[in-house]
A and B are shown apart, each in its own frame.
Chain A
């Protein structure tokens, strides 16, 4: 247990569905992240929230919409996805205080888009 939980762990959805991924951290951190890990590819940073404000958006398509209502929760809203969006979606958190602090990752949500 890393202190970062993700739900659901597995999700299968059609291209016309709308779903949301949830991440919760119990570590008192103030920064949270979404990463995408496709098969045989490195992890790709998607979004970064620091103090509940989005500070990074790595040219992610608008069909992915993040939400950070407070420092403990992070959502990734999904709509009209494509089959190539099938991947492992990982959430992480860290304490962003100007010094280096390790990131703690959740177990991920395995997403399959049909």
Chain B
């Protein structure tokens, strides 16, 4: 499985934008980039995913580098509720079933 590298932790001020980076230099052509987050005392939840083009949804935006070796999850206005561990994951759609391999993720703290 292709691996991802993320900073261990980041801080953001409330209501400021947050850019969470992820490096995936060994990404293959069929790997989708996925982001999940895990709030304290909860299971992970899906945030967003993409392949080549930038993506937006109600939770966040995903900016993918042109060479696809890195990506950035963007939270446009951080709230206290966004304090969580954010996981960047590569999913190979050529596997015969859904398989998600989590790394250590980035622990995001939001300062009031």
Write the residues of chain A forming the contact surface with B, with a CB cutoff of 8 angstroms.
Answer: 2, 4, 31, 33, 35, 41-45, 48, 50, 55-56, 90, 92, 94, 96, 99-108
Q: How far is the CA of A44 from the CA of B103 in the complex (A)?
A: 9
B100 touching A103, Cβ below 8 Å? yes
Interface locus among B12-20, B41-49, B63-71, B74-82: B41-49
A105–B45 touching, CB < 8 Å: yes
Contact B45 A2 (CB under 8 A): yes
**How many residues on chain B are close to A (CB under 8 Å)?**
22
* Set of chain B residues within 8 Å of A107, measured between Cβ atoms: 41-43
Q: Shortest distance in angstroms between A45's beta carbon and chain B's nearest beta carbon? A: 7
B43 and A42 form a contact (CB under 8 A):
no
Tell me if A45 and B100 are in contact (CB < 8 A).
Answer: yes
- Which 7 A-B residue pairings sit nearest by Cβ, starting from the closest? A105-B43, A102-B46, A43-B102, A50-B97, A42-B102, A90-B43, A94-B98
Closest to A106 in B: B43
* Residue B7 lies at the interface, judged by CB distance under 8 Å to chain A: no
Nearest opposing residue in chain B for A49, CB measure: B97
Q: In the complex the two chains form, is B99's CB within 8 Å of A56's CB? A: yes
Least distance between B104 CB and chain A CB atoms (Å): 5
Task: Take A106-B43, A108-B43 as given contacts and tell me if A96 and B97 are in contact as well, using a CB distance cutoff of 8 Å.
Answer: yes
> Given the known A-B contacts A45-B101, A100-B91, are A55 and B96 also in contact in the complex, defined by CB atoms under 8 Å?
yes
Determine the residue in chain B with the shortest Cβ distance to A53.
B97
